[in-house]
Amino acid sequence: MQSSRSLPVTAAGAHRRRQPPAPSAPAYLAATLTLLVLAAIAYSRAAFPRFPHPPATRRCRPDAEGSWSAGVFLGDSPFSLKPIEHWGISSGGGAAWPVANPVATCADVAGAGFPSSFVANPFLFIQGDAIYMFFETKDPVTSQGDIAAAISKDAGATWQQLGVVLDEEWHLSYPYVFSYENKTYMMPESSKKGNLRLYYAVDFPRKWTLEKVLLERPLVDSVIINFQGPYWLLGSDISSYGSKQRGLCIWYSSSPLGPWNPHKQNPVRNNKDNKPSARNGGRPFIYNGSLYRIGKDCDVGGGCIIQVFKVEVLTANRYKEVVVPFVLDESLKGRNAWNGARSHHLDIQQLQLGQLWIGVTDGDRVPSGDSVHRLTIGYMFYGVDSVLVLLLGVLIGAIKFILPLRWYLPHTEKRSDTFNIAKQVFLCHKLSSLICNVNKLGSLIGGRINYRAWKGRVYIAVIILILTVLTCFGTHYIFGGNGAEEPYPVKGTYSQFTLLTMTYDARNWSLKMFVEHYSKCASVREIVVVWNKGQPPSQGELKSMVPVRIRVENKNTLNNRFNIDKEIKTRAVMELDDDIMMTCDDLERGFKIWREHPDRIVGYYPRLAEGRPLKYRNERYARQQGGYNIILTGAAFMDHELAFKRYWSKEAEIGRKIVDSFFNCEDILLNFLFANVSSRSTVEYVKPAWAIDMSKFSGVAISGNTKAHYHIRSKCLSIFSGIYGNLTSKRFFNSRGDGWDV
């Protein structure tokens, strides 16, 4: 019997032998996948909106083409148009004081029973005191454009959706509507069909039938205008030069029904740089005897710029136009504004009653392809995640990175393949060499990290941290939406509010953050700073996307918070302490609830006063008791005409003196004044996603001693109840059913 010889064991071999066995690949992959999924869920809960959206806002499903909607502008001339909210037009339905853009969205169309992704290319048709709007709406099911309509009888302030009025088997858009010889016609874009079609209204505005094919050409953005005798058809023929971004062609006729003769200079050129003239961006209009054409330059960052051209020469042989100054008010709020990213259409007409001009334009809050861009970046982060997971698995020895060479050996089964064997051998040789190098690398780094040693655990912790961060980024881009904090409509209308804050010189730093942050919120019209003490900042020190007005007071008193201010342009005022930071979505939700209950104080900090005598209790106690009867006005919506008038009424004079004596309790007084005129509940609570009290970091809080603060407020309750009676009855949490008062 031959005995086996014992072999010497090297130090490295002994070290490897002492290493603990690595986890199996399935166990490792399951553990890392679970960890990253939990990280994604945790990030989603922290970063994404926690509250349900109303059903009306969920019907609109924007896609890769954007989230287009339509807004109304008014002016004394076509060149002085301002958004409808600047005109102070109000609508009692939904407490829209004033009405604000947009006036038509895909949610409105979907609410009428027609699924929609966006509203674009709006055209107006005025008939007596009624204004009709025709526009393209995209069906998210068929991904096809249809023509829908809406009607307004209050100069464009509110619109009743009429639904889809023209639906063909092909894509339709750009619904240019005009009248001729007592008939109403529509000439939508139907370039997918390869021609330009004219429809007439059988039953205006809901039923249309084909009149004739005007041109056997795939025209886009086509309009007809009668000027100096002939009818002129202007459009872009995409068959001749292949680009939909530029080019204008002209035809002329003695009738809008044709026949049409081509212009001698087609496609007409820009007189300045000899480039093709810009595509139409809306209806041409005549002002002071001159013809103006609306065009769009769509070569700027994926969006378009609306331009207005004055037509100086228009004959069968010549065409000349020049750009004239034209500016529509543009929001600085970025994605929070309905038209913050781009606009590519404008229709202007003069109202029949009076000298007012009306314009309707479309706008989008995101650039073209935004959803695809976000998905691409998100999956790139997830892809890097996957590579790092595999690399970590190799480093700890859980994954063996060995590729079998036999997978890449050449083989052939047909004689006809014989002449390719040399190429296959050469290719397989290269692949085999590459695989060998990869396998060497896998063997070299495999098991290099001992996950039970402290140093190895540090390496693993760093890699896991990187994986978690990448997962959060990927989750944000894929599931986080477009980043906009949009307003909520009430009865199909939007509105705006004034943000009012009271402060003094010791809190200058928080005021700057306050103004910059909240000025980006979609429904904020203006910020009013009530300056109680010290030297106020200059306008240049405050970075704001909306106008900021600093109202310097003569006396340092908390009563200044509710001073009657005739310069406020909205009925709704949001009283907000300058040291409270919330999301714009929190403000928009609160504004929606106030518009549904404009006679109440709607806010974010509930309190409960109960007992005999009344005792002031915090939010935790109120939740334990299931309800509240006070809303702090340091973060609350109210009708300033109603609230401020009550606060400065003669019956509130004693209460104001008590506020001055304690330098406290102005919000409690207002709650009593509201409760004193109504037997119903006068307060509504909205739970914020998060709220940060910045005074905790500054040391300049007005009420630093909580116990003393609560004691004073309990005194106020006792005094006010003796003067004004009881507070409103207890309002229960989670009583509205919208999920926002939990």
What pTM was computed for the model? 0.88
pLDDT category, 2, cuts 50, 70, 90?
very low
**Per-residue pLDDT, 645:** 96
184-188, 290-294, 446-450, 624-628: least confident range: 446-450
Q: How far is CA 192 from the centre of its chain?
A: 31
pLDDT category, 460, cuts 50, 70, 90?
confident
**Which residues are bridge partners to 232 per DSSP?**
225, 252
Under 8 Å between Cβ of 591 and 638: no
**Per-residue pLDDT, 456:** 79
Residue 377 CB neighbours (<10 A): 15
Q: State the residue for tokens 């060499």.
A: 433
Which of 597-631 are b and which e, b meaning 16 or more Cβ less than 10 Å from the residue's Cβ? bbebbbbbbbbbbbeeebbbbeeeebeeeebbbbb
Copy the structure tokens of residue 187. Answer: 């000439």
**Per-residue pLDDT, 16:** 45
**Per-residue pLDDT, 10:** 46
Q: Summarize pLDDT for 156-167 with one digit per residue, the tens.
A: 999 999 999 999
Q: State the residue for tokens 């339509």.
A: 70
**Per-residue pLDDT, 15:** 43
Do strands 173-180 and 183-189 pair parallel, antiparallel, or not at all (unpaired)?
Answer: antiparallel
Under 8 Å between Cβ of 571 and 97: yes
Phi first, then psi, for residue 117 (nearest 5°) are -105, -30
Determine which one of 108, 370, 579, 667 is catalytic.
667
Q: State the residue for tokens 């002085």.
A: 80
Under 8 Å between Cβ of 579 and 513: no
pLDDT at residue 17 above 60?
no
Q: State the residue for tokens 């006792």.
A: 718
Q: Is 417 a catalytic residue?
A: no
DSSP state of 536: P
What is the layout of strands, in order, in the sheet containing 119-127?
119-127, 130-139, 144-152, 160-166
**Per-residue pLDDT, 459:** 84
**Per-residue pLDDT, 709:** 93
Q: State the residue for tokens 């928009």.
A: 588
pLDDT at residue 349 above 80?
yes
Task: Name the packing angle between helices 370-395 and 454-479 (round to 10°).
Answer: 160
**Which residues are bridge partners to 357 per DSSP?**
75, 350
**What CA–CA distance (Å, rounded) separates 676 from 346?**
50
**Per-residue pLDDT, 245:** 44
Q: In one letter, which amino acid is 235?
A: G
Copy the structure tokens of residue 258. Answer: 């044709």
Do strands 572-576 and 497-503 pair parallel, antiparallel, or not at all (unpaired)?
Answer: parallel
pLDDT at residue 509 above 90?
no
